[in-house]
Structure 1
């Protein structure tokens, strides 16, 4: 493991911790890859019965580290490769046959929300601020995350979240389905919850998780080629470049739809 992610284990519960508190736990490309490996590895650790995913310091995660986009996500090809790593991470979390709880304080935005959506449950405190600001960078949020968002919040709330790029308070997030429970100490509450689940049959939990995740992710008649085309167009747009410039310059972006 790198210093940017570490694991603590206590009596069968693993805590996977994003460890860039000075940068609000912004996630680099390398961290997406590392998390995929960590969660895949936890599948083989029989003594681990549940996982808490959390951030060091005051924030869960402000999202992807946009400062590196200029060099690693500048066109449709780089964007597609980046999304492969992001999806591999969320797939590893979702595929883990053990319950995973995101313990959320402070910012849970964009890529941070992507991580939380892949977990089985999301516990927050009253400092939690949740949102997906993709529309302020001219990014089309990834298909798997949109499917998970839809399953949790319903179509109207999912559209509101993605169209507006707004940030939602803990109370709003609860009402929209983005958070499941509020606690003074979400990390401790998540650990206690997982200990309750750990007395139940692991194979029952793994089977239920596999079926429920699969049922919630059904795409029906969705045209995947059209989805990829929309993602590619946004990845190569001048608006995406303008979104990055505006973010770096701390000013409102001026989008043209191209």
Structure 2
């Protein structure tokens, strides 16, 4: 049975991806910081739950050991946004957290699993964001983290051009999940809800997971360099139809 590793699997896109990969026949290793949130998911997909903070080298080494010598799919989904302040009011502790989870964490996990991915002629899917396309007001820290993650994707693809590992990226736009905006706004449910106010049918975690699974299950000679996925109502990062 092929093996898939999904980071950030405790909620949202990561959890939905783990479920769909299991449905597609993968043994799924579900990794996230909150082990208590992983038990039910791992049981539901007949997989393995591994506590892993992608910013902790020891945790990442333990994840690589649990994954074993062959990994067919790695989905780097751990990350997220914190705050929406302008640079003049920046909370650099929040910036460091975002850079650690989105940029350094995905790079650290990929490096650790690369031998197993190469052994299986596997694929890496980096879940970035349309925030990587350019800055927006209040988004400097998150945009920087996601743009940095994209730089890793682009460099890694060039570095591995003659090795049997595919390097891919999916950049979601407006996705309504249980936690993304709540985390960004420190649990302020009213402020989080306003992000999606009036938007007809924002993307769901399952929409993005479906695209990830499609990318991950293409023939081995097919590489989807980057997929941008948005709801129909979102024409760009800053132009959104609201009713």
TM-score (norm 1): 0.33
If each structure's helix is expressed as a fraction of its own residues, which one has the higher value?
1
TM-score (norm 2): 0.34
